[in-house]
A = this chain, B = another copy of it.
Amino acid sequence: MLHEEKTMTSTTETLSNPHDATSVRLGLAQQLAETLLSERGEASGAFVARELHGVMAALDAADRHGFQRYLAAGFQPDATALRTAAERYLAEATAETAAAVAQAADPPRQELLRRMNMAPGGTAALIAMRSEIAARLRDEPVLKLLDGDLKHLFSSWFNRGFLELRRIDWQSPAAVLEKLIAYEAVHEIKGWDDLRRRLAPDRRCFAFFHPALPDEPLIFVEVALVEGLATSMPPLLAQDVDEAVARAQAARADTAIFYSISNCQEGLRGVSFGNFLIKQVVEELKAEFPQLKRFSTLSPIPGFRRWLTGQLAEAGTSTAAVASALAQDGWWNDARQSEALRPVLMRLCATYLTRPASAGNRIDPVARFHLGNGARLERINWLGNTTKRGIAESFGVMVNYLYDRDSIEANHEVYARDGTIVRSPDVEALLQTH
């Protein structure tokens, strides 16, 4: 365990208590930011960065906001230098004059942010900053400059080559496990017992980590090892499974179901990990369980209900019966009502998931992610998830996207080229029904 640099008297300590010192603190933060970017910052950067983070941590919300605006508005490239470089480039466009423009245009803000990263906890603080400004980007366009610079840096720092895939299980530190409970975005984890079930011997959980954030998963995926394609959630979330039974289940499994993928860091939005994660986890699972034959998701369809509701409204009286049946609370618990709705909803869901994207008609976000990764639209499942959220999003319908190692590249190609959605015969058949 190595100790950190503690040299020189700290200017932060003298201000640790006073409550009315906020504007003083904001001023101090600004001054430290300038020092950090100066030549002195080059020599004593790690120390100044630490001081700055100390002051920032003590800012109240208003001052934090002020500091973010200060970062976004200032630290512009030198106008004269950029003008000169731009003019030279326009006079003679060469690789060298282009490079000179790039250099002159590079905002000092990025260098400042890089130096802020030198302090312990710096990376986490910058991620938190980007997370905090997300909500205000629309109203304060100036913050977009800061947001863009942070995103640019994060894309570079959180390069796949620097990420570590780790399996998470009951041997993982509680400090990591509690993050799963906090970050699970698809199927809520209801406390430690539920968590334990998700880490049982017939389950796997993998996450990407970055060395600068050792306890913070960036994204994680939960996998169930089952026999045959899983088509509904309740069996996957059932509690109270015996360890030995689960172990036997894992040994028999021929299919891995990716039933939940959660991004953990709002501050890293736009930096994509999911694609790498699924593909590497497929390899991990294949190595541990050579008998696995099928890798598939069991996914929500978050946009289906909204789209369908729009469709029904447009269609007018011809579908009024459907709309009215769907409006009845609890229809999914009534076999007769449910069976009546099934053919029409299944067909419409197949239509929703395969229709071409167009203006005002965006492709379902989960579909876009998996199809873009090269998965195939495999199966649409009636009432796979009848929780409140499942009904609210998609009338309980779920979908499997299949990751088939042999066709993943070709699927991706055609999807990328012209939006072709590769689908199974089952889905095709649904589309042919009337």
Contact residues of A with B, CB < 8 Å? Answer: 1-8, 39-40, 43-47, 73, 76-77, 79, 82-83, 86-87, 89-90, 93, 95-96, 98-99, 101-102, 105-107, 114, 117-120, 122-123, 142, 145, 148, 153, 155-157, 159-162, 164-167, 170-175, 177, 191-192, 196, 211-212, 215, 275-276, 279-280, 282-284, 287, 372-374, 405, 408-409, 412-413, 416
Contacts and interface: CB of A to CB of B under 8 A. Distances in A.
A357 to B, nearest CB: 16
A159 B44 contact: no
A145 B95 contact: yes
A40 B177 contact: no
A118 B1 contact: no
B123 A98 contact: no
Contact of A102 (B96, B102, B405, B413): B102
Contact of A279 (B5, B102, B165, B167): B5
Contacts of A93: 79, 82-83
A28 B167 CA distance: 36
Given A105-B101, A171-B175, A174-B171, A2 B372 contact: no
A99 B145 contact: yes
A217 to B, nearest CB: 15
A275 B177 CA distance: 34
A49 to B, nearest CB: 8
A64 B4 CA distance: 42
B90 A86 contact: yes
Contacts of A44: 374, 409, 412
B155 A8 contact: no
A69 to B, nearest CB: 12
A162 B171 contact: no
7 tightest A-B contacts by CB? Answer: A102-B105, A211-B211, A118-B160, A86-B86, A117-B161, A101-B105, A171-B173
Contacts of A196: 174
Given A5-B283, A157-B157, A99 B107 contact: yes
Contacts of A105: 98-99, 101-102, 105
Contact of A162 (B161, B211, B287, B412): B211
8 contacts: A3-B284, A3-B287, A7-B408, A40-B413, A45-B276, A114-B159, A118-B276, A157-B157
A363 to B, nearest CB: 15
A155 B153 CA distance: 12
A246 B89 CA distance: 54
A221 to B, nearest CB: 13
A102 B78 CA distance: 12
Given A105-B101, A405-B7, A159 B117 contact: yes
Nearest to A181: B192
Contacts of A166: 2
Contacts of A170: 173-175
A123 B157 CA distance: 12
A196 B4 CA distance: 27
Contacts of A405: 7-8
A430 to B, nearest CB: 27
A114 B152 CA distance: 12
Given A102-B106, A174-B170, A39 B416 contact: yes
Nearest to A206: B2
Given A8-B405, A93-B79, A282-B7, A122 B43 contact: no
A175 to B, nearest CB: 5
Contacts of A174: 170-174, 177, 192, 196
B2 A165 contact: yes
A47 B279 CA distance: 10
B118 A159 contact: yes
Contacts of A373: 43
